[in-house]
Structure 1
Amino acid sequence: MQQSKQYHGSGQLSAMLTLALACSLALVGCAGQAPDGSSQGAEKPLIQPQNWPLQSAPIARNQQIEDKINALLSQMTPEQKVGQIIQADIASVTPQQVRDYYLGSVLNGGNSAPGRDNRVGAAAWLQLADAFWQASTDTSDGRPYIPVIWGTDAVHGHSNVKGATIFPHNIGLGAMREPQLLHAIGRATAIEMQVTGLDWTFAPTIAVARDDRWGRTYESYSEDPALVASYAPHILQGIQGMPGAADFLRGEHMLATVKHFLGDGGTVGGKDQGDNIDTEAGLRDIHAPPYYSAIKAGARVVMASYNSWHGDKMHGFAPMLTDVLVHRMGFDGFVVGDWNGHGQISGCTPTDCAASVIAGLDMYMAPDSWQALYANTLAQVKDGRLPMARLDEAVLRILRIKAEMGLFEQVKPSERPLAGRYELLGNAQHRALAREAARKSLVLLKNNQQLLPLNTTGRVLVAGDGADNIGKQSGGWTLSWQGSGNANSDFPNGDSIYAGILQTVTAGGGSVELSENGRYSQRPDVAIVVFGEEPYAEFIGDRSHLAFDDNRGLQILTQLKSQGIPTVAVFLSGRPLWVNPELNQSDAFVAAFLPGSEGGAVADVLFRSPSGAVRHDFQGKLSFSWPDNAKGEPLNVGDAGYKPLFAYGYGLRYSDNTTVGQLHENAGISADQMLNASRYLHAGKAVTPWQLQLLDQGQITRVTDALHTSARGALTATATDRLQQEDSVTLSFAQPGTVLLTHADGVVLDLARQSNGDMALELEYQVLALSNSTTTLGMQCGDNCSANIDISGQLAQMQGKGWQSMKIALRCFSEADSTFDISKVTRPMVLQGSAGLVLQLANVRLAQNEGNATCGN
């Protein structure tokens, strides 16, 4: 029987009342606002600051600090002032350049660890922190003593550093409904950061994600602004300490950042860096509440958002950065930009943008553009295009926070109390905290016949590609920007989900078999299948729909169910996704989100204690509504026509005897809508709507079955086994020919953002035989537009060496042919080979360049 029942939780009514209350408390109500908060009319609205609640600055200025920073300012040259408002990435700046250009800050982007090694040891971080500090504080030429500050994206623990504790991502923390625990997480993160000498984190993210297609949904605690607003003070004060306390921003505390201001979670279609077209009331009542609470709790840095509001980029939008943030919200810290975000303002470039500072930005984040930006900004100050008064204001704001941090009296990073205490990274107390948070973040969606909790005395099969994969369970922003390419060995202070199950079950007298593909040597009493999204970050995670389109987990569940084996699905994801087929094939289903490095938390909840008692019950409640179709249209509690599959606040406990019936399996979207902009070939098969095609003397043959030969016999594509049955394709060239990946409807891909973001085209392959002629890998941008790169040398080096990964940086295609247009890609893979070449392909996709991408030979 097809079931369309909606499953509701107790949190729905309270959330609806909260939203209504937010509207009623505002000076201007929600009239004229569509149910989703978007504008109903075509006329561009204006920001009217008087419509925003007025809040006084929560931290009184300290006269001693004011005297000190004004005295410093009076000693500074224009060159020194300009340097203070620029932040450079450590991959593009040296300590000597920090000194030469008087830079006020450095950062490490997601892929720019010391030495460009994302898995470098903690000592290298501390050593580099000392180098930057000493360079910035060398006053031998008479310059003022102004230390540099180093910022990093410690968004779920000190997650760029090997060995650190990796906490659940925010979407999971939102589900646990325990804001007090965030204080402890913030404090633990600050402690581990100071071990490596860093003093500033670009966290917490307090976005209110309203469209789950957004690639940063997992960085949001909830779709409900009230929940996010209630969380913000706890995580913030855990990092920074309490305003007014002696250790505020000092001791075991440090500087935090609330981001991204404002409206990043409400862009059209969930497009990262896109346009938010909410009404002013929608922007205020949905996206601003967390900032009011964070500023009241002592936020000292706000990061400007990439997004626009009705076409106006936030990085240059004075009505928000100045009129609202400073004059209505009472913010008295400094505003930092996002990665070259100022360059997206109309009329600006990454190296030239006085307009952003004039609008209210205090510190440019100019990772690789800083040097030219410095020169242009200095020229603009000298000729008056950037008023000196505004520059002085920005510098004073930065100096004020540095003074509040005690940096002018501080010693170099390696001499501070926590520095070099590497035993604190991933220590037992912090791991226990992470395990508790992960345990409480799990949401039980289905538990038919009360299958859970399981006994530890039976035979347990653990399957799925996420079972023994700490990187996958941790998600993006883990050791690297995208979180890809991580092995379990990269997490010396973590456990996979399988490892936790193994420890728990064997201690209880049972046995565990691990099998990624679900095949077993001895019939199990129960199977736990762990699967889900691959790690991603930012726009790489943007989707056009919410259908979970990796069917490996479904295949395993279906296979086991057909054999009468009870199944428990553990789903790893950065957002709710349409998984009705997987739900139907599971007896129990757990939304685990991205639990971090403590995979043992899953076993804590799934299994009874050896005595048979419940060890830990499920606590998690959905902080995002779960969709009943894959369309991806905004689905938020309080919306008109709200029809989720599992409502906001839903989450079963063991005492609930709830049966989830057979669900419909109509995704609600066509193949045309399932455009995958970053995944083209998966497990040897073209990902819908992409097609794998063989081009042979002008004739195209589409590969649709396990064995396909091109029209004139030059090429053969054969489905072959890699890890599972037919999970790769072998391409055999009898004559010259071309293998294509083409969109079924000729849709054009704009990969300019991805190219600018240093992404790469990645092939997972093995070379079975080589030809004597050139092999090229290319892309097309129309009938007479292409770029091809010679990969013959790489293939020759890898022949006979098993499975390999090849990454060609997207920029290389533009460099290979000046006429190639990366914004109009029609075929993301064009592989040309000659007689004798035999390649086995598993996956073709866009991936992060972790320093291992090339331009071919």
Structure 2
Amino acid sequence: MSMTGLFACTHDTSADKELTKTQQSNTEIWPVIVSEVPKDDAIEAKVQQLLSTMTLAQKVAQMIQPEIRDITAEDMRKYGFGSYLNGGGSFPNGNKHSTPQDWIDLAEAMYQASIDDSIDGSTIPTMWGTDAVHGHNNVIGATLFPHNIGLGAANNPELIEKIAKATATEVMATGIDWVFAPTVATVRDDRWGRTYEGYSEDPEIVKSYAASIVHGLQGQAGKDFLGNDRVISTVKHFIGDGGTVAGDDQGNNIASEQVLFDIHAQGYVGGLTAGAQSVMASFNSWHGKKIHGSKYLLNDVLKGRMGFDGFVVGDWNGHGQIAGCSNESCPQAVNAGLDIFMVPTDAWKPLLENTIAQVQAGDIAMSRIDDAVSRILRVKFRAGLFDKPSPAKRQYSGKIELIGHDDHRKIAQQAVRESLVLLKNNNNILPLSPKMNILVAGDAAHNIGKQSGGWTITWQGTNNENSDFPGGTSIYDGFATQVKAAGGQVVLSPDGSYINKPDVAVVVFGEEPYAEGHGDRANLVYQRGNKTDLALLKQFKSQGIPVVSVFISGRPMWVNAELNASDAFVAAWLPGTEGKAVADVLLKGSDEKINHDFKGKLSFSWPKSPEQIVNRNDEVYEPLLPYGFGLTYGDASLLSSELEETYQLSEDLSVGTQVFNGKVQKPWVMNLLSGNEQVAINSSTQTLTGIKYRTIDKVIQEDAFKLALGGQHNAGIQFMSANGFREDLSAEQEKKAALVVELKRENPIKSPVYISMNCESEGDAQGSCRADVNITEALNKTAQSQWSDIAIDLNCFAKQGVSFDKIVVPFELRSEGALSLSISQIHFQSEADAPAHIQCN
């Protein structure tokens, strides 16, 4: 089980209890904040008047926030939810390619249902919240700005405000009211999978940026506050998510209260002073107690001492992680100060009913409910939701030209240019003349999805193609445009092959997209055990071709070998859809003069070793490159080309070969199957004749998927190697491993269910060696509606002719019968760890 899973279901360990004894509880540490948005007596009177007319059911409905995949407009009409959301990778009609008009249509339908009092008696307008964390990132064609880690390197608060305002405009163009941004975590361990959502390891930048982005999203009090082109902002995640032990997402922060304020709270000082109207509670714990259930932090500190008068919203079923709670019942969260339950999945209905019953039973005081609802109504009145036209009739709704507007893309291009950090520039190889013969190589060179990272159309940022980014440009696109215009030559070659030897190779490579816990790492080694990018750099070096590396990443990484193999090295972070702006800095103009110099400076210290966790102002501070480092043109390069390349990790935390562990692992891709039909899965919901697929939550957001087979076709799911290439898994067979599937069945299995593997024989078509294993009996032995493992001895496949050095499909599941099945893990596990359930000795 992952550390995330342990923290999700285990609480108040003896160690945590011991820490709790020593932690401070001193509200004097925290400041009294005077918000730029003062209380308005007229609004307060409206809130109290409306509150006095509401029933308990209407009040609790204001505190329930379901997700668009789990409710209909009729549900909204019946219950009158105060708000709703679309999760990352969730779209109107379940269609990844929904048009802006589709988003508007859903916003309008939900709004009209919320103000229809024919069933629930309420006319309170609902509000839609969305994760627009680097632009309106769920909408096809939107401008996607660099992720926060790059913006931190730019260190330009004025630019940040422009980015936020452009984002608000594109969000308003789709009729949405509320944005779950900014993230104001101060990241202290780069192994954390959300490092790129942080601006810096130092709170200084975070504090100033928080105010700028809140102003950009909401406007400023007395000027354009929450006007027609502005949205409600959310400072998140309160508090300490960037400082968990070992960088574990949703883990435990054991900082003292003084450090919690000094390091992790400065973004809230900036954001709340600027008038942020909502705060999102964090998944993490502080000294073993989940923040969602911390009355001290949510009520005594945030609302009491700091004077926050907006509302506190939970994170994705975060309330269910509190000791004694479930997704369907959690009075502890309300009593602690949570005002809105974010409750995706169908848990929203029992949660609503249970909360009403808990108020009636006295488990939750009516005064606490009134306080929560007053806060929600206060923000709705401040945002003008009672007075503004419906979503379809607002000033910017339907103005499709605002989505990806050229003015917004120009702001994003400026952000890309200013975020680039030059780490190495031997012999001043940069900037390059555009009149040279330039080879642009690497798998990220012409890949807008990879350069944009997580939270990009889909939640994890995976399963996207360049065609999903109309108006966007790759890094190669920028080189191609400028070099061709100047009379030079440019060739795109991801694998580095060429006909005419180039003058220089620009190699664009880096991390695959990820989000949240799926990005957590045990160490900072780049491409551990699979140094394909290093091999490409060395290939060029051996041919006497100068190498310029452009590194795409969501964090600083230990890349000593890659640095050694590069003449120049640029940390490009995750630049978003405006990749062409990278060439603005790396290339000279056609007049051979500098177009744009480097401005970016490291807002994160660069590690000297794979396990070094180092931050500015540490007592012992010995990074490879310090906070604030960044060369400009003409500066002498300081890095040696003989950096230490060997390492020994203190603990090997590697696991068996993963096929799926909450997301599809490279080199595999996932397909939905029905008869002879096959379609790539590139959305959180997908259908094919006789089969439905959707992502679900097991421990964290969307870390599993559910299949529903109708029984009319031979249908199922398949994982195969990208482009049908053969993969060598012979090491798994040598370890006498088993194929292990963690699954949950929802009904008795009446028709055979098969798990298959395919391989490719020499000279034959892919999949010509195939093995099928009937798992029906083993599946029926698992407890219904409970997660269980089924392990299959690899000999079962080998005896049918599968060659493990030529695997094309490591996993395929099919059935001709009706079937409801969820899967959370598919991996190979050595026999020493556990015996296989299905053996074929």
Counterpart in the other structure of 1:18? none
Correspondences of 1:9-48 after superposition (within 5 Å): 43-48=21-26
**Residues 237 and 282 in structure 2, CA contact (< 8 A), matched pair in contact too:** yes
Correspondences of 1:388-467 after superposition (within 5 Å): 388-467=366-445
**C-alpha separation in 1, matches of 2:604 and 2:305:** 30
Deviation at 1:262, TM superposition (A): 0.3
Output one character per residue of 1:527-550: Cα deviation in whole Å (capped at 9) or x when no partner.
Answer: 000110000000000001000015
**Residues 460 and 512 in structure 1, CA contact (< 8 A), matched pair in contact too:** yes
CA pair 563-142 structure 1, distance change in 2 beyond 3 A: closer
Correspondences of 1:88-237 after superposition (within 5 Å): 88-140=66-118, 143-237=121-215
**C-alpha separation in 2, matches of 1:353 and 1:112:** 25
**Residues 58 and 330 in structure 1, CA contact (< 8 A), matched pair in contact too:** no
Correspondences of 1:494-573 after superposition (within 5 Å): 494-549=472-527, 550-573=530-553
Correspondences of 1:268-667 after superposition (within 5 Å): 268-368=245-345, 369-549=347-527, 550-631=530-611, 633-666=612-645
**Residues 421 and 571 in structure 2, CA contact (< 8 A), matched pair in contact too:** yes
**C-alpha separation in 1, matches of 2:792 and 2:238:** 37
Output one character per residue of 1:685-735: Cα deviation in whole Å (capped at 9) or x when no partner.
Answer: x999xxxxxxxxxxxxxxxxxxxxxxxxxxxxxxxxxxxxxxxxxxxxxxx
AA of the residue aligned to 2:721: E
AA of the residue aligned to 1:325: L
Deviation at 1:45, TM superposition (A): 1.0
CA pair 670-779 structure 1, distance change in 2 beyond 3 A: same
**C-alpha separation in 2, matches of 1:836 and 1:160:** 44
**C-alpha separation in 1, matches of 2:466 and 2:97:** 12
Counterpart in the other structure of 2:690? none
AA of the residue aligned to 2:49: A
Output one character per residue of 1:808-846: Cα deviation in whole Å (capped at 9) or x when no partner.
Answer: xxxx99998339996989999998355355684479799
AA of the residue aligned to 2:232: L
**Residues 264 and 272 in structure 1, CA contact (< 8 A), matched pair in contact too:** yes
**C-alpha separation in 2, matches of 1:121 and 1:452:** 41
CA pair 793-123 structure 1, distance change in 2 beyond 3 A: farther
Deviation at 1:112, TM superposition (A): 1.6
Output one character per residue of 1:313-366: Cα deviation in whole Å (capped at 9) or x when no partner.
Answer: 000101100111012212110000000000000010010001101110000000
CA pair 291-527 structure 1, distance change in 2 beyond 3 A: same
Deviation at 1:82, TM superposition (A): 0.7
Deviation at 1:240, TM superposition (A): 0.3
TM-score (norm 1): 0.80
Output one character per residue of 1:229-284: Cα deviation in whole Å (capped at 9) or x when no partner.
Answer: 01111111000000222x31121111010000000000000000000000111111
Counterpart in the other structure of 2:832? none
**C-alpha separation in 1, matches of 2:415 and 2:58:** 44
Deviation at 1:59, TM superposition (A): 2.4
CA pair 679-327 structure 1, distance change in 2 beyond 3 A: same
Which ranges of structure 2 fall in alignment gaps of 5 or more residues?
1-15, 668-696, 707-717, 727-736, 743-748, 769-776, 813-819, 825-841
Answer with 562-571 or 755-764: which moved more: 755-764
AA of the residue aligned to 2:414: E
**Residues 88 and 367 in structure 1, CA contact (< 8 A), matched pair in contact too:** yes
SS of aligned partner of 2:386: helix
TM-score (norm 2): 0.81
**C-alpha separation in 2, matches of 1:828 and 1:259:** 46
Deviation at 1:44, TM superposition (A): 3.7
CA pair 677-208 structure 1, distance change in 2 beyond 3 A: farther
Say whether 1:790 aligns with 2:754. yes
Answer with 61-70 or 197-206: which moved more: 61-70
SS of aligned partner of 1:139: coil
**Residues 434 and 482 in structure 2, CA contact (< 8 A), matched pair in contact too:** yes
**Residues 167 and 596 in structure 1, CA contact (< 8 A), matched pair in contact too:** yes
Say whether 1:779 aligns with 2:740. yes
Deviation at 1:63, TM superposition (A): 1.5
Match of 2:800 among 835, 839, 842: 835
**Residues 777 and 831 in structure 1, CA contact (< 8 A), matched pair in contact too:** no
AA of the residue aligned to 1:185: I
SS of aligned partner of 1:645: coil
SS of aligned partner of 2:260: helix
CA pair 344-486 structure 1, distance change in 2 beyond 3 A: same
**Residues 759 and 802 in structure 2, CA contact (< 8 A), matched pair in contact too:** no
SS of aligned partner of 1:325: helix
**Residues 463 and 518 in structure 1, CA contact (< 8 A), matched pair in contact too:** yes
Over aligned residue pairs, what C-alpha RMSD do you find? Answer: 3.4
**C-alpha separation in 1, matches of 2:658 and 2:338:** 36
CA pair 573-827 structure 1, distance change in 2 beyond 3 A: farther
Deviation at 1:43, TM superposition (A): 4.0
Deviation at 1:615, TM superposition (A): 0.5
**C-alpha separation in 2, matches of 1:365 and 1:831:** 45
CA pair 142-522 structure 1, distance change in 2 beyond 3 A: closer
**Residues 330 and 355 in structure 2, CA contact (< 8 A), matched pair in contact too:** yes
**C-alpha separation in 2, matches of 1:167 and 1:611:** 29
**C-alpha separation in 2, matches of 1:377 and 1:828:** 47
**C-alpha separation in 2, matches of 1:779 and 1:288:** 43
AA of the residue aligned to 2:532: R
**Residues 295 and 330 in structure 1, CA contact (< 8 A), matched pair in contact too:** no
SS of aligned partner of 1:445: strand
**Residues 704 and 823 in structure 2, CA contact (< 8 A), matched pair in contact too:** no
**C-alpha separation in 2, matches of 1:456 and 1:348:** 61
SS of aligned partner of 2:699: helix
AA of the residue aligned to 1:640: E
**Residues 210 and 270 in structure 2, CA contact (< 8 A), matched pair in contact too:** yes
Say whether 1:818 aligns with 2:795. no
The number of equivalent residue pairs is 726
Match of 2:699 among 753, 763, 774: 753
Deviation at 1:385, TM superposition (A): 1.0
Output one character per residue of 1:1-53: Cα deviation in whole Å (capped at 9) or x when no partner.
Answer: xxxxxxxxxxxxxxxxxxxxxxxxxxxxxxxxxxxxx9997844132212222
Which ranges of structure 1 fall in alignment gaps of 5 or more residues?
1-37, 689-750, 770-775, 782-786, 804-811, 847-851
SS of aligned partner of 1:348: coil
**C-alpha separation in 2, matches of 1:597 and 1:813:** 47
**C-alpha separation in 2, matches of 1:507 and 1:588:** 24
Percentage of identical aligned residues: 47
CA pair 488-814 structure 1, distance change in 2 beyond 3 A: farther
**C-alpha separation in 2, matches of 1:472 and 1:428:** 22
Deviation at 1:115, TM superposition (A): 1.5
**C-alpha separation in 1, matches of 2:795 and 2:280:** 41
AA of the residue aligned to 1:300: Q
**C-alpha separation in 1, matches of 2:778 and 2:582:** 44
